Amino acid sequence: MKPDLSVEIAGVPFKNPILTASGCCGYGEELADVFPLSKLGGLVTKSITREPRMGHRPPRTAETGGGMLNAIGLANVGIDRFLEEKIPFLEKQKTTIVVNVAGSKIDEYVELCARLNDQPRVDMIELNISCPNVDSGGIEFGTDPKLTEETVSRVRKVFSRPIIAKLAPNVTDITKIAIAAESGGADALSVINSVLGMAVDPETWQTRITNNKGGLTGPAIKPIALVAVDKVYNSACTLPIIGIGGIATASDVIEFMLVGATAVQIGTALFVQPDTPVRIVDGLTEYLKRKKMSSIRELIGKVRKY
């Protein structure tokens, strides 16, 4: 019998635990040229804001040791064009659709989510309250427990389907933010967003990206992400966790699930090997067969600690 890769988060079914990470596959159309999106457990769109954003001027990405530094600046088409141009494509996809939203004020999150609530094909929203590479909004909502709770609470009043809060690693105690998100009415957590970083060219003395600082992603942050997931899973917070950070192989996914993640998001690896999600799904199937396990859910939280 083929192992069961399905998981469930806040009542929403996923055929497997593999989602894309926001900002790493646009609105899905780009990735659909590589493999059928139906092979994904879920697709997370890039962040949507109220107004269109051009983002930061190039260069806005830089390769680092074991990762990538980026400060895209939430470039996107804005909510009006998203609803007009992107939703029709997403409505046709046979996978769970998660729309990531961002704002510089709580009112913007509320407005965006109220409009998305009218779109039945938006299965979940992910609140980007932790972006490290914009000057206004972004990270401060996810570093202050009171702001986190208020943001989620106000969105909860206008969005009737599950809400995911995306948490930052750049905090003193991520469990306090997780508990605040749960208190505000969040249904799940994405752990973690990118780690604040910087890169400099030693020959020119010039910073490598125009925003000077940005978000570090890729394998370099996997240990940071794993410990964050472990902390949240073993805290007073009871919400399901979607693990993010340097995931590129089936083994990476297994590590995240063992420390408490129910699902994961794939980001930077998509730029290296766009069909990574398909390879991972195949790898997970083979792993479960080798371990004689019937369901991937048997892995969740089963890490053995010294």
Whole-angstrom distance, CA of residue 215 vs CA of residue 201: 17
Ranges of beta strands (E only) in the chain are: 7-9, 12-14, 18-20, 42-44, 61-64, 67-70, 96-101, 124-128, 163-167, 188-191, 195-198, 213-217, 241-244, 263-266
Question: Model confidence over 216-269: pLDDT tens digits?
Answer: 999 999 999 999 999 999 999 999 999 999 999 999 999 999 999 999 999 999
Using CA atoms, how far residue 249 sits from 99, 138, 176, 192, 222, in Å, is 24, 29, 30, 18, 12
Catalytic residue status for 25: no
Question: Model confidence over 11-31: pLDDT tens digits?
Answer: 999 999 999 999 999 999 989
Q: Give the mean pLDDT of 67-79.
A: 95
Catalytic pick among 24, 25, 113, 131: 131
Amino acid, res. 272: V
Question: Model confidence over 257-266: pLDDT tens digits?
Answer: 999 999 999 9
Peptide bond into 48 cis (omega under 30): no
3-class SS string, 237-263: CCCCEEEECCCCCHHHHHHHHHCCCCE
Q: Which of 132-136, 280-284, 293-297, 298-302 has the lowest mean pLDDT?
A: 132-136
Whole-angstrom distance, CA of residue 72 vs CA of residue 56: 6
Question: Model confidence over 177-216: pLDDT tens digits?
Answer: 999 999 999 999 999 999 999 999 999 999 999 999 999 9
Amino acid, res. 150: E
Give this prediction's pTM: 0.96
* Residue 98 β-bridge partners: 44, 124
Whole-angstrom distance, CA of residue 253 vs CA of residue 284: 8
Whole-angstrom distance, CA of residue 174 vs CA of residue 172: 7
Summary mean pLDDT of the chain: 95
Using CA atoms, how far residue 95 sits from 28, 91, 117, 149, 253, in Å, is 11, 9, 18, 29, 19
pLDDT-based confidence at residue 98 (cuts at 50, 70, 90) = very high
Q: Given this model, what pLDDT does residue 37 score?
A: 97
| Under 8 Å between Cβ of 51 and 104 | no
| Token pair for 124 | 């979940």
Contacts of 290 (CB under 8 A, 6+ apart): none
pLDDT-based confidence at residue 58 (cuts at 50, 70, 90) = very high
- Quick check: 133 pLDDT over 70? no
The reply to whether CATH 3.20.20.70 applies to domain 7-299 is yes
Q: Give the mean pLDDT of 91-103.
A: 97
What proportion of the chain, given as a percentage, has pLDDT over 90? 94
Helix (H, G, I), strand (E, B) or coil at 91: helix
Q: Given this model, what pLDDT does residue 134 score?
A: 55
